[in-house]
Amino acid sequence: LNGKLIMSWSMVLYHPLEHLAYIRWTSPDLYPPSSGASTTIKNANRLSALSCRFWFAYIIIDIVQAIYRIEQIKRQKKKELVLCGDEESDDLVQLDRSMVDERLRGLRSLLFTFPCYSWSLSDWDTNPWLSETYE
């Protein structure tokens, strides 16, 4: 399967679930009284955890793609160095910029994994993996 296709579908599934969770948190009166407020909140938390699992898949694939692109840039840079020798060409400068961009992208995604993993857990609201409070 294509990584971009998986990333696209993960966002197609993430966003509606996250919006549903938000609606359940902010407007519990939209649901019948028989469901109970605590049940509505629990369902919202489950929907949010499920949506974050799709986000987590997106992040992991983004990291893998960044690593793959960094390897491609390295190969291109080696070819360019063979062709140009020690001269600094515009292509080499562009490859260096692309390398920095991909490394930053990978780092950004890597940093997103920690809160995303925490929110993906089924009991993220009662037993968080990462505490949000400072003691």
Percent above pLDDT 90 for the chain: 47
Angle formed at CA 24 by CA 126 and CA 6, multiple of 5 degrees: 85
Q: How far apart are CA 49 and CA 21, in angstroms?
A: 9
pTM of the model: 0.79
Q: Give me the helices (H) in 27-124, please.
A: 37-84, 90-120
Q: For 82-113, how does the pLDDT look when each residue is reduced to its tens digit (9 = 90+)? A: 887 766 778 888 999 999 999 999 999 999 99
